[in-house]
Chain A
Amino acid sequence: MLELNNATIKFGGLVAVNDVSFAVSKGDLFGLIGPNGAGKTTCFNLITGVYKPTSGSIKFKGRELSGTPSNKVAQLGIARTFQNIRLFRALSVLENVVVAAFLRHRVGLASAIADLPNSIRETQELKDQAMALLEVLHLDKVAHTRSCDLPYGMQRRLEIARAMATQPELLLLDEPAAGMNPQESDDLLRVVRQIRDQFNMTVLLIEHDMRFVMNLCEKIVVLDHGCEIAQGPPEAIRSNPKVIEAYLGEPV
């Protein structure tokens, strides 16, 4: 479904992502791990069109992505969350999700400005869709709270709800469990499985919490200093000497 072939990006002298290749198939729970500054987030930025790769290609369902603007990528069916939470702060929780659901709108701007019945109906439909997603992520009770007033863990979940609202085929999660306590992180584990099994989304996720990744993912790619150092199922990754070295002896 998603295919990176020798994707490379340089920022001045720094090669943030160096010759990285991996393929995510439909239905995967795919992990992307590596120490801080390894280039994981940059990979997401390449896929979602924030940056254009210096060389190499990124294909989604056989279509070349590099050079496609972010909003186009979202329309093609790839949605993401942000490591440093980027919610629409002054908007309510519900509104945050409706912005994303709006991607699939049909009614024109003129109808909205004239407040015509079809626009009112569509707005209601989008709100209902958004509300249903909020229920999945247990955010329905705070639907009308300003998103910046939410506690941290909820903001992270809202990031996921918002990304899901674009109805993507591929969901990119950037450190979804960062800053969560074990309880929250266990809940999240269940939610991510549910996203895959119930919503039929393929998930590619970056995560620091090794327990989380090893529990969840079926395939893992490890980056270090922009280079891909290992690829395979969790068991193989756990015992790979290069990975152990990269993590400086941290138990993996």
Chain B
Amino acid sequence: MKYWPTRVVSILAGLGACFLISAAADASGNDYTKRLVVLAGVWVILSVSLNLINGITGQFSIGHAAFWQVGAYSAGIISVQHYANSGITGLPWLLLMMVAGAIFAALAGLVVGLPSLRLRGDYLAIVTLGFGEIIRIIVQNQKPLGEAYGMNVSPKFQFTWLVWLTAFAAIAICRNLLKSAHGLPFLAVREDEVAASAMGVNVTRVKVTAFLIGSALAGVAGALFAHYEGFISPQQFRMEQSFIILTMVVLGGTGSITGSVLAAAALFYLPEKLRDMGPVTGGQLMAGAFATVLAVYLVKRVIDHFHGTKKEAAIRHLGIVLGCMALSFVLSIVLNQVPVLANARYEAEKLRMVIFSGVLIILMLVRPQGLLGHAEFSWEWLKRVLGQRRSEAAQTS
């Protein structure tokens, strides 16, 4: 294969995409939109990096926000205290801070990961959960870190393209790893530690490597986040955030990079949409829940049918999904005739965690491997799908 041409083209395409995203965000002329674009990039980095630990290597880390926080605070405090007399300005300084964020987060990862990853079992879950709380308490008791109020980070650096370039880099790291034989031991550890070890895989080393890369990437996301926002507080890294990152990975399909990216984008925008939606009544809420459960179940059936041959059945199920949507709309009107339900008002934004938990529960019931399972987007896949269409068309004509 032509190595260098494809390499150069894909790197240029990646850079081009970053600048396009950045230009589009700037063109909106709206600070709120621009911030959303940047934060989406940050969440993509977080979910892709957690996917490396949880999805690809099969270790259950549930406190990823803690490493994000370590990166944000370490880069933030270094900027505050040393930027003025460093003699370095602009982009190089930010790059330096990204490296600092990565190093500190990776060090934290080493401290947390090394003892617990040597053992088999779910120690990592407990330890990472505890670590999140420890970091929060440490930050809340440090004057220079602004305690519970938060800390101003100056100077601010608002490079939208850099955030997305980092996101692309994170995706590339995982993809390249899985493409090469080097990624297989990671997957083997996820599948069966005893067998992996018998085949010569150093299980502890593989787990720690995944954990370090994952933590370091979260640290980079932290450094970018801190310098973009110009203000960070422990509130922004609370346990709920770890839970959201985890939901993204699980929802996308544990192990699927594509899934992590898509789920990160979707779950990041969902709450933003909810914020715009205003309060809902009890009736609407119940009807909505009903519709979601049914829709998810049926979408699963539809997906399964697309794997098989019965296309008509798939279309029928699609029809049922639309029918359910209409039914739930009617249901909401009916339910709202009940005064108790009609008078209850719920802020949609406050329901965020309820919705996330609901999504997770439904997912575990109908599709435990996540929406994409282990599937990945690839050009071969696209070609295969398009090729299939064409050959089907040729057959029917």
- A-to-B contact residues, CB < 8 Å: 48, 50, 69-71, 73-75, 79-80, 82, 86-91, 95, 98-103, 105, 107, 109, 112-115, 117, 119-120, 122-123, 126-127, 162-163, 165-166
Contact = CB atoms under 8 A, between A and B. Distances in A.
B324 interface: no
A82 B374 contact: no
A112 B192 contact: no
A126 B181 CA distance: 8
Contact of A105 (B172, B182, B195): B182
A82 B187 CA distance: 19
A99 B192 contact: no
A95 B3 CA distance: 23
Contact of A103 (B172, B179, B192, B199): B199
Contact of A123 (B181, B187, B194): B181
Given A71-B197, A74-B198, A112-B177, A102 B185 contact: yes
A91 B187 contact: yes
Interface string B189-205: 01110111111111100
Contact of A48 (B181, B196, B198, B374): B198
Given A50-B194, A88-B191, A112-B183, 14 more contacts: A70-B197, A71-B203, A74-B199, A79-B199, A82-B195, A99-B199, A100-B199, A101-B181, A102-B181, A113-B182, A114-B176, A117-B3, A126-B181, A166-B199
B192 A86 contact: yes
Contact of B182 (A79, A80, A101, A112): A112
A86 B199 contact: no
A122 B182 CA distance: 10
Contact of B184 (A48, A71, A91, A119): A91
Contacts of B198: 48, 50, 70-71, 73-74, 79-80, 82
A217 B7 CA distance: 54
A132 B197 CA distance: 23
B286 interface: no
A162 B187 contact: no
Contacts of A95: 184, 187
Contacts of A89: 191-192
Contacts of A112: 176-177, 180-183
Interface of B: 3, 7, 172-173, 176-177, 179-185, 187-188, 190-192, 194-203, 209, 255, 374
Contacts of A50: 194, 198
DSSP class of B's interface residues: helix, strand, loop or mixed?
helix
15 contacts: A71-B200, A88-B188, A88-B195, A90-B187, A90-B255, A91-B187, A99-B187, A99-B188, A102-B182, A112-B180, A112-B183, A113-B177, A113-B182, A119-B182, A163-B199
B187 to A, nearest CB: 6
A90 B191 contact: yes
For the complex of A and B, 7 pairs with smallest distance between CB atoms: A112-B182, A103-B200, A74-B200, A88-B191, A70-B197, A112-B180, A86-B195
Contacts of B195: 82, 86-88
A242 B198 CA distance: 34
B254 to A, nearest CB: 10
Given A105-B182, A109-B182, A115-B179, A88 B187 contact: yes
A98 B374 contact: no
B199 A162 contact: yes
Contact of B200 (A88, A98, A120, A166): A166
A71 B194 CA distance: 10
Contacts of B7: 115
Contacts of B182: 102, 105, 107, 109, 112-113, 119, 123
B201 A120 contact: no
A82 B199 CA distance: 11
Contacts of A101: 181
Nearest to A44: B198
A69 B185 contact: no
A146 to B, nearest CB: 9
Contacts of B191: 87-91
A79 B197 CA distance: 10
B56 to A, nearest CB: 11
Contact of A115 (B176, B181, B374): B176
Contacts of B196: 88, 99
Contact of B201 (A71, A117, A122, A127): A71
A99 B100 CA distance: 34
A225 B200 CA distance: 31
A90 B376 CA distance: 14
B121 to A, nearest CB: 16
A102 B184 CA distance: 8
Contacts of A122: 180-181
A131 to B, nearest CB: 13
A72 to B, nearest CB: 8
A136 B295 CA distance: 48
A88 B199 CA distance: 11
Contact of A69 (B173, B180, B197): B197
Contacts of A119: 180, 182
Nearest to A74: B200
A84 to B, nearest CB: 10
Nearest to B255: A90
B133 to A, nearest CB: 32
B181 A105 contact: yes
A127 B255 CA distance: 22
A105 to B, nearest CB: 7
Nearest to A108: B182
